[in-house]
């Protein structure tokens, strides 16, 4: 697996989603989130976070694990959500098949269903309402 297999959109999505989950008390970091979702090695995912930093999509303080989006990264994330709307709502279009309870893939799930299943895989629970 290589960095070219993970887009900057996927990286900014992971940074944003990991922060939302951490704010809800779920211990998850962007590199591990990308690895779980895309089936890529964690080391490759962190290289992609470094690449996103070099391209000015994110900033970080002491650790890349706690990165946040720059304005440029927020704009890229907004483009991702606009693309999702064009694809029929909140569907996740670029995910590789993700095993979930009861079968199906990440592509079959709405965003909220995907996050709930991801949280279940991490081994905790969260109320997304």
Residue-range domain boundaries for the chain: 3-122
Residue for token digits 């992971």? 14
Tell me the CATH class for 3-122: mainly alpha
Q: What is the pLDDT along the chain (129 residues), one digit of tens a residue?
A: 678 888 999 999 999 988 888 887 778 899 988 888 888 899 999 999 999 999 999 999 999 998 999 999 999 988 877 776 666 654 554 444 344 444 444 445 555 666 666 666 555 444 444
Tell me which residue of 6, 11, 29, 4 sits closest to 77, measured CA to CA. 11
CA distance linking residue 109 with residue 72, whole number of Å = 28
The C-alpha angle with vertex 60 and arms to 111 and 53, in degrees rounded to 5, equals 75
CA distance linking residue 3 with residue 75, whole number of Å = 21
Structure tokens of 64? 């890349």
CA distance linking residue 77 with residue 66, whole number of Å = 17
Whole-prediction pTM value?
A: 0.72
């Amino acid at each position: 697996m290589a960095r070219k297999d993970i887009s900057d959109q996927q990286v900014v999505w992971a940074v944003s989603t990991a922060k939302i989950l951490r704010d809800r008390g779920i211990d998850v970091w962007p590199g591990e989130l990308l690895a779980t979702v895309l089936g890529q090695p964690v080391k490759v995912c962190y290289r992609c976070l470094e690449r996103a930093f070099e391209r000015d999509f994110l900033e970080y303080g002491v650790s890349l694990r706690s990165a946040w989006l720059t304005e440029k990264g927020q704009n890229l994330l907004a483009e991702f959500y606009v693309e999702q709307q064009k694809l029929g709502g909140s569907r996740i279009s670029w995910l590789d098949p993700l095993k979930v309870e009861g079968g199906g893939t990440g592509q079959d799930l709405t965003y909220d269903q995907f996050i709930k299943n991801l949280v279940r895989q991490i081994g905790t629970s969260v109320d997304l309402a």
